Each structure stands twice: as structure tokens, then as C-alpha cells.
């Protein structure tokens, strides 16, 4: 049984689920899960992907529905990422290793998840995170937004 989630946390999970559900079928297929892993820079072998699906797909339907997704992901709201995990996540977005995540880098990474993220979406995301208003996200801003959800 997952921990109790707030409405805001459930909405966040629903948004995330829809990013992964590329064909809008209401489930995440093995192919979609593999794409998510690849977009995160994870090279998963077929055996590992199969194990991950078995872990998440509790009803053995061959895909992950929203409730199954919530059951696995809910605990992430209560887990504080390690400094190494935060660093790796920032580095994944900071593709040119400038120490900042630019609008272009944010657009590139977000489009790996879902191919239809537009510049207006990215600008809204950037504005909500960019506290010093320099039109880019530094490591401190990135970490602050990640930890603010904990």
C-alpha cells in the first residue's frame, strides 16, 4: 500500500504518467518504458526491462496502468535524493556542461520524454524555477525545486 498522497502529488504523478504514455492508451507499455529509460540516459537490457515491468505490472496485463504506476512511484515523494543523484540529474539536463540549464537544453530533454513540448511550455517551466531571472537554471535552483517536493 503506497503512502497517502496529497491532491498535488497525485496530479504530479498523473502528469508524469501522461508524459510516459506516448500513445495516450492509458497504460505504459514495455516499449514506452524502454523509451523513458533511454531518454534518461539509462541503457537497459531486455532482461532488466522485463524485470522492471514485472515489478510494476502487478496484474500481469503486459502494461502499467495508472494505479500500478502510483503504487511504485508514491514512495519517491518521501525519499530524499542523495547528493550524487541530484548531481547526476542536473548533469543530464546540462548537456553542454556550462553549469546552467538553458531553455534549449530543457526543451531538448523534455522532448525526449514527449515529442510535443513547445517553447511556451518550456518558458513556463523555466519561469517557475528561475529565481534569479537570468533565463537559465543553475544547480542551486534545480536542487531547490527538486527538494521543494519532499
Could you tell me the CATH number of the domain that includes residue 50? 1.10.238.10
Domain shared by 56 and 11, yes or no: yes
Domain shared by 66 and 104, yes or no: no
Domain shared by 106 and 73, yes or no: no
Domain shared by 121 and 143, yes or no: yes
**77, 109, 129 — which closes off a domain?**
77
Domain shared by 33 and 66, yes or no: yes
pLDDT at 72 over 90: no
Domain shared by 19 and 69, yes or no: yes
Cα–Cα–Cα angle for 120, 121, 123, rounded to 5 degrees: 65
Domain shared by 54 and 91, yes or no: no
Domain shared by 25 and 58, yes or no: yes
Domain shared by 100 and 65, yes or no: no
CB 122 within 8 A of CB 106: yes
CB 41 within 8 A of CB 92: yes
In this prediction the pTM is 0.58
Please state, in angstroms and rounded to a whole number, the distance separating the CA atoms of residues 2 and 38. 27
pLDDT in tens, 11-44: 888 988 988 898 999 999 999 999 888 776 678 8
Count other C-beta atoms under 10 Å from residue 52's C-beta: 17
> Considering the domain boundaries, does residue 33 fall inside one?
yes
> Considering the domain boundaries, does residue 1 fall inside one?
no
Please state, in angstroms and rounded to a whole number, the distance separating the CA atoms of residues 78 and 74. 8
Domain shared by 117 and 134, yes or no: yes
State which residues form the domain around 133: 83-148
Q: What is the pLDDT of residue 100?
A: 96
Number of domains in the chain: 2
* Residue with more model confidence, 123 or 42: 123
Task: Count Cα atoms within 13 angstroms, Cβ side, for 77.
Answer: 18
Please state, in angstroms and rounded to a whole number, the distance separating the CA atoms of residues 121 and 109. 13
CA distances in angstroms from 1 to 4, 5, 16, 58, 67, listed in the order given: 9, 11, 20, 12, 11
Phi and psi (nearest 5°) for 97?
55, 40
pLDDT in tens, 75-95: 777 778 888 889 988 998 899
* Residue with more model confidence, 140 or 76: 140
> Considering the domain boundaries, does residue 2 fall inside one?
no
Amino acid at each position: 500500500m503506497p503512502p497517502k498522497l496529497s491532491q498535488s502529488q497525485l496530479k504530479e504523478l498523473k502528469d508524469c504518467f501522461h508524459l510516459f504514455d506516448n500513445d495516450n492508451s492509458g497504460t505504459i507499455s514495455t516499449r514506452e518504458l524502454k523509451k523513458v529509460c533511454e531518454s534518461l540516459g539509462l541503457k537497459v537490457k531486455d532482461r532488466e526491462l522485463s524485470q522492471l515491468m514485472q515489478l510494476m505490472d502487478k496484474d500481469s496485463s503486459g502494461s502499467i496502468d495508472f494505479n500500478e504506476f502510483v503504487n511504485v512511484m508514491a514512495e519517491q515523494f518521501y525519499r530524499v535524493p542523495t547528493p550524487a543523484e541530484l548531481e547526476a540529474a542536473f548533469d543530464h539536463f546540462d548537456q553542454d556542461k556550462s553549469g546552467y540549464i538553458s531553455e534549449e537544453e530543457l526543451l531538448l530533454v523534455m522532448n525526449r520524454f514527449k515529442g510535443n513540448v513547445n517553447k511556451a511550455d518550456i518558458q513556463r517551466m523555466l519561469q517557475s524555477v528561475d529565481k534569479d531571472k537570468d533565463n537559465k537554471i543553475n544547480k542551486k535552483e534545480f536542487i531547490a525545486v527538486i527538494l521543494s517536493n519532499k
